[in-house]
Amino acid sequence: MTVIVAEYLGVRTDTGSPITPVNVSSRAKIPCPFRNAHCDKAARGNKPVCSVWDADTRELWIVCSHRLCATSPKDQPLNEHQKTILHSVAQTIFTPDITRPDVLVKRETAIPVTEDSSYSADYVMWRRNPNTTTLTAPDRPVILEMQGGGETTATGELTRHIDQWEKLPSPTIEILTQPVKKTAPLVTNAWRRQQEQFLVKGNVAMMTGGKMVFCIGSMIERYLMPRLRETIQFRDLRQSNWTLALLTFIEDPSETQRPDCAPHSLALKIDVERSLFTNYSSFVQAITNQGSPCNSLFAEPYITLE
């Protein structure tokens, strides 16, 4: 696979506008447009790439953990980008006409598991005036997790490409957006990391009377759903009492310029048609019921230890 740099320090690369390289060797704390904090990549001396495109399909793959809607209790307050993403989630899981003042969130909430270990929820979300009288879909608080993408293969190739662009006398956008071969999204790794999150955090949410919501990128959804649907037929419970939701975020080509604190970045939106509302137990069953019997697995020949 081949990728193209889609966003560099929060600036999209497909508008033709020039982008100024960042001197990451100084490890300066450069503001991140997606949260009220600095760019961790630049502070570590890494290239501040937020996302890449598949060169063939132009499908977006987020390569920075802060790009979708990262959070930290130290990042006060929520910036406009985070509010926009969280409001879109609330409109999807609660009601389309919910207003921002009615959306309640807690960030990095501790989820104790054993005496010496604990997890944390990216967000806990509820609404100010929960509707608990509707029998079909009563409101419950949700654990909200963000996983828009992950790492790539051959990251060194991407780093070298950007390093060469940064050192040019005239680093043009045309050179930055040249395809980078051998680099590809590691979708399998992103999903493997999420499985434990599904099982542990989802189970805690169910036992505590809540729901589980995962916000994922389109490549993760495209990798995951065909495999799960081979093992179980999910019931669509979006108008009923669902307990688990997968919300798929995709690039929004209709919005060319954003009005918030990241005006030069790519716009994202939830693709409702590619999102899933079901019950938690069915999803866990689909995860654990992978594969099929293999008659040759334990058949001869064997070798001895001699």
Long-range contacts: 159-164, Cβ < 8 Å, 24+?
A: 159/46, 159/47, 161/5, 162/5, 162/8, 162/47, 162/49, 163/47
Taking only the tens of pLDDT, the chain with its 306 residues reads 799 999 999 999 998 888 999 888 888 789 998 998 889 999 999 999 999 999 999 999 999 999 999 877 676 789 999 999 999 999 999 999 999 999 999 998 888 887 777 788 999 999 988 776 655 556 889 999 999 999 999 999 999 999 999 999 999 999 999 999 999 999 998 888 888 888 889 999 999 999 999 999 999 999 999 888 887 888 889 888 899 999 999 999 887 667 677 888 999 999 999 999 999 998 888 888 877 888 899 999 999 999
Q: How far apart are CA 59 and CA 122, in angstroms?
A: 25
Q: How far apart are CA 85 and CA 264, in angstroms?
A: 16
pTM for the whole thing?
0.91
- In terms of DSSP H, where are the helices of the chain? 40-44, 80-93, 155-166, 173-176, 187-207, 218-229, 280-288
Q: What is the DSSP letter of 209?
A: T
Please list, in sequence order, all residues whose beta carbon lies within 8 angstroms of the beta carbon of residue 189, skipping any fewer than 6 positions away.
150, 151
Contact 190, 147 (CB under 8 A): yes
74 to each of 107, 122, 299, how far by Cα in Å?
Answer: 10, 13, 57
Q: How far apart are CA 183 and CA 58, in angstroms?
A: 14
Omega before 77 within 30 of 0, i.e. cis? yes
* Token pair belonging to 196: 């434990």
Q: Which strands, in side-by-side order, build the sheet including 117-127?
A: 103-114, 117-127, 142-147, 211-217, 244-251, 268-278
- Tell me, what's the pLDDT at 157? 96
Task: Please give the full DSSP string across 4-59, using - where no structure is assigned.
Answer: EEEEETTEESSS--------GGGT--PBPTTSSSB-HHHHHT---EEEEEETTT--
